[in-house]
Amino acid sequence: MTATAKTRILLPTPEQAQGPFYPPSKPADQDNDLTVVKGIKGRAKGQVLYVTGRVLDTSGKPLAGARLEIWQANAAGRYIHPDDTNPALLDPAFQGYGTCTADAKGNYRLKTVKPAAYPAMSGWTRPPHVHFMIGAGKRRELTTQMYFPGEPLNEKDRLYGPTPGHERLLAKLLPPTQGMEPNALMAEWDIVLG
């Protein structure tokens, strides 16, 4: 590398609150497809959402073997959690929590449904989002949330709006690719661990 060459530094993905609905106990079914639950007939209600991306360090190096956990509300805005008092219906075919491991190039892929907004407390409705917890080797874990562009509640949100660099929490939405459900949504979101 010459003295004039610049090292590309990526900004880390901002940290966000874990929130009150992290599962108190992990479900038996915790794979990377949240749209089906082993032993339950049918598929989760709502728009199918594929989330793909890479887990990288700040130099752009892929973090092979990074562990990802996700948890989220269902398509009606309800978490599978005993403390969620939202009167929206639970969906028995929605897993609510899943895990996956990044491949040798840092790529990950999850299948879920687009979560709905939900009331957090009086005067505050959370925008649709997916919670992530990521760990890679000896790097500390990152807990964060992925949001969807164009959601009117994003800028009003008490977590998203004030977060420095919150634009790095927005996924890039793409049309479905061959082999996906015709009305599916694809979200591409790279995660950078600092």
Q: Give the residue numbers annotated as catalytic, written as ranges.
A: 79, 118, 126, 129, 131
3-class secondary-structure state, position 169: helix
Torsional class of 39: left (φ above 0), alpha (ψ -120 to 50), beta (otherwise) = left
Longest dimension (CA), the chain: 61
Is the Cβ–Cβ distance between 183 and 175 less than 8 Å? no
Range list of H helices, 25-103: none
